[in-house]
Structure 1
Amino acid sequence: MTVTAFHPRPEPDEVARVTSTAAELLEVLWGRASTAPASASQLRVLLILEHHEGINLSTLAASLASTPPSTSRLCDRLQAAGFVERVVSPADRREVRLRLSSRGRAFLADLRVRRQKELQAVLSHMPAAKRVALLEGLDAFCAAAATRIRHGAADSDARTA
């Protein structure tokens, strides 16, 4: 399956379209590596907590673009499953901090192993030169995405205008 015939200097909209297609295919492949017993929303929470250990519920809710009550219910279920721990903040006893439990970390590690196996199966069918090009492109994409996330969408939009 060819996604597109590439131009020598593809425009961002063309690359965005192909990247979206690749992301959709990844979702299908990764669907084979089930996220059970966590739902997609719960998985997002686990990934956020992994990168922002000890955040409070309000910050997590903002990261999810959700409300604190909905986020609290998500965390209740993750805590019941043993994936999340709630810890009282040493600075303010009214504030609860969230962190992954060892079981939550083990779940994410296992999920990543299963997802990598799916990716390796696909990548093994690609010529080595194409894998190198993909790696270089993904490295640049990750750097640009991290910058956009760190500095916010508005700052990034100002730089590209």
Structure 2
Amino acid sequence: MTTKAVELLEVVWGRASTAPTSASQLRVLHILEHHDGINLRTLAESLASTPPSTSRLCDRLVAAGFVERVVSAADRREVRLHLSSRGHTFLDDLRTRREQELHKVLADMPAGKRTALLEGLESFCATASTQIHDESADPGSRTA
């Protein structure tokens, strides 16, 4: 059931195009939104990728105007990554479009089922947020 729900959610969200970004680029934007000023190496670890691949991914996001690279004041060899104002606007717009698509589905659900879904999603979000925060605080705590 969980897999089916995820797949259906992807279909509904797919109606709100993520163009001009790829799924990988969108993931980077979300990470930068929550970890402003992250360095490339840490971002690569978060993506389970290599620094060269992550750098190329960021190059495309910089070229699109979604990400800014800033040399660290503490260490000039280190580059910090920031979501640009255009990146923030893009994510806000994407969330709005996705929300509109979800509202179309929710509008056809019985009121009691919508309430139960909301309560379940609130619990899910709280638990997932805690797990993500705990993993960020202790990267070695992830399980394979």
Give me the TM-score of the superposition, normalised by structure 1: 0.82
Gaps in structure 1 of 5+ consecutive residues: 1-17
**Alignment of 1:106 onto 2:89:** yes
| Unaligned ranges ≥5, structure 2 | none
Three-state SS of the structure 2 residue aligned to 1:66 is coil
In structure 2, how many angstroms separate the alpha carbons of the residues matched to 1:30 and 1:91?
A: 41
The answer as to 2:38 corresponding to 1:59 is no
Conserved in 2, the CA contact under 8 Å of 1:49 and 1:98? yes
CA distance in structure 1 between the aligned counterparts of 2:18 and 2:126, rounded to whole angstroms: 27
Cα displacement (A) at 1:150: 2.1
Offset, 1:20: 2.2
Compare 88-97 and 145-154 and name the one that shifted more.
145-154
Q: Which one has a bigger Cα radius of gyration?
A: 1
Q: Which residue of 2 aligns with 1:38?
A: 21
| 2:111 is aligned with 1:128 | yes
Distance in 1, matches of 2:92 and 2:142, equals: 32
CA RMSD of aligned residues (A): 1.7
Q: CA deviation at 1:154?
A: 8.2
In structure 1, C-alpha distance between the alignment counterparts of 2:72 and 2:2, rounded to whole Å? 41
2:51 aligns with 68
Higher relative contact order (CA 8 A, sep 6+): 2
Correspondent of 1:50 among 33, 38, 49: 33
| 1:143 counterpart SS class | helix
Decide whether the 8 Å contact of 1:148 with 1:155 is kept in 2.
Answer: no
Aligned residues: 140
CA–CA distance in structure 2, aligned partners of residues 126 and 66 of structure 1: 40
Cα pair 1:148 1:156 within 8 Å, conserved: no
Moved over 3 A (4+): 152-157
Aligned partner (choices 61, 65, 69) of residue 78 of structure 1 = 61
* Structure 1 residue 151 displacement after superposition: 2.2
Partner of 1:142: 125
C-alpha change, 1:156 and 1:86, in structure 2 (3 Å) is: closer
